[in-house]
Amino acid sequence: MRAVAVYPQQREVKLVERPEPRIDGASQVKLRMLEVGVCGTDKELCAFVFGTPPAGSDHFVLGHESLCEVCDSGRDVDDLQPGDLVVGSVRLPCPDQSCPACRAGHPDFCTTGQYFEHGINRLDGFMADYVVKDRDWLHKVPLRLREVAVLVEPLTIAEKAFQEITRVQERLPWKALQRRALVLGAGAVGLLGAMKLIAAGFETSIYSLLPPPNPSAAIAASIGATYISSQMTSVSEMREQVGAIDVVYEALGAAQLAFDVLKVVSPNGIFVFTGVPRAEYLQPFDTESIIANLVLKNQAMVGIVNAGRQAFADGIRDLDLFHTRWPQALTSMITARFPMEAFLDPVMGRAGGIKNVIRIAE
């Protein structure tokens, strides 16, 4: 079968032939891969910034944003049929018996760092014709979501962030009516986060680099979010326009902008980071005022990575909801679909757009 493989030592990414995987356990499922989404993580993996092959291998298969069709399963799997659509979890538990998170079934909170991640860390990814995976880490998707279900994995980031926002805001000793959110970044994770926040009742603005018109600004308008360009509007002007900001959902990975926005978050507000910043020049800034704000305004900062089972369940439920409420906005988030042979343009970041997808099978 075909697979897109990354060779970190040789600094090569290429289409290779590999043996088709077989089911060798009662709880395993054989999957025909339909689509794999490409994101910034894949671009960094293909620039060899990080990424670790499985033990004993010099390469790993790329891809962590999956949409798969069930072809076959082991005898203990009684709730999946051939033809069913599923999306796979990305992170799997570490083997350490003393890791409380993994032992409780939450590898996205792993404490040892010895976890596995499909297509990223010590585990092959999904950019191959077939994959075999344990039933436990597959999430069934309704057939009606076939065209958009490759967005489930990026949506799980927003779902996990939302779970954290809800939990953190429960600390307030009254029922908070904090209902204004700012999303930083208008890529797929940002736009899906904006959809989630709007669906949950937040008055939502998106603050992103490019001036309108652009495809992300059009999607923002069609879901009822205010789109503000950081190129045209300073942070203090944005704050004037938006009003009190109770929740910031960061989906950009830009440190300077994050620090600048942190200064204008409201009392009792929460700032959730989902992006890992690249190295960038930072203007000298007043760290004291950031700490003073956290203290004097009861603010919270939370970082989140990856997603657990509940986030996948919530993501699939919400994707269905978004699909009904904003069908055009959701489908237009997928910029282009590429055949597997043409994987290079999207994974090298040359393709542009919001979300590019590798189409592996029809």
Least separation in angstroms between residue 342's CB and Zn ion is 19
Least separation in angstroms between residue 190's CB and Zn ion is 13
DSSP secondary structure code for residue 52 in this structure: B
Q: Is 66 in the site for Zn ion (CB under 5 A)?
A: no
Instruction: Give me the residues paired with residue 338 across strands.
Output: 358
Q: Which stretch binds Zn ion (CB under 5 A): 47-55, 112-120, 144-152, 302-310?
A: 112-120
Least separation in angstroms between residue 306's CB and Zn ion is 10
For the segment 87-106, give every residue that binds Zn ion (CB under 5 A).
Answer: 94, 99, 102
Q: Measured from the CB atom, is 3 or 238 closer to Zn ion?
A: 3
Question: Is the Cβ–Cβ distance between 3 and 128 less than 8 Å?
Answer: yes
Task: For residue 119, count CB atoms less than 10 angstroms from its CB and return exposed for 0-12, middle for 13-18, buried for 19 or more.
Answer: buried
- Measure the CA–CA gap between 40 and 243, rounded to whole angstroms: 31
Q: Is 110 in the site for Zn ion (CB under 5 A)?
A: yes
Q: Which stretch binds Zn ion (CB under 5 A): 61-69, 176-184, 224-232, 337-345?
A: 61-69
Nearest to 326 by CA among 224, 226, 227: 224
Peptide bond before residue 277 is cis, with ω within 30 degrees of 0: no
Q: Which stretch binds Zn ion (CB under 5 A): 40-48, 141-149, 265-273, 319-327?
A: 40-48
Q: Which stretch binds Zn ion (CB under 5 A): 39-47, 166-174, 242-250, 321-329?
A: 39-47
Q: Is 41 in the site for Zn ion (CB under 5 A)?
A: yes
Q: Measured from the CB atom, is 81 or 112 closer to Zn ion?
A: 112
The count of residues interacting with Zn ion (CB under 5 A) is: 8
Q: Is 39 in the site for Zn ion (CB under 5 A)?
A: yes
Q: Which stretch binds Zn ion (CB under 5 A): 33-41, 131-139, 217-225, 273-281?
A: 33-41
CA distance to 158, 166, 203, per residue, from 198 (Å) = 12, 14, 6
Question: Is the Cβ–Cβ distance between 37 and 144 less than 8 Å?
Answer: no
Q: Is 112 in the site for Zn ion (CB under 5 A)?
A: yes
CB count in 10 Å sphere of residue 89: 25
* Degrees to nearest 5, angle at CA 20 with 362 and 336: 30
Tokens 């042979």 belong to 341
Q: Measured from the CB atom, is 179 or 309 closer to Zn ion?
A: 309
Nearest to 307 by CA among 131, 30, 121, 109: 109
Q: Which residues sit at the interface with Zn ion, rule CB under 5 A?
A: 39, 41, 65, 94, 99, 102, 110, 112
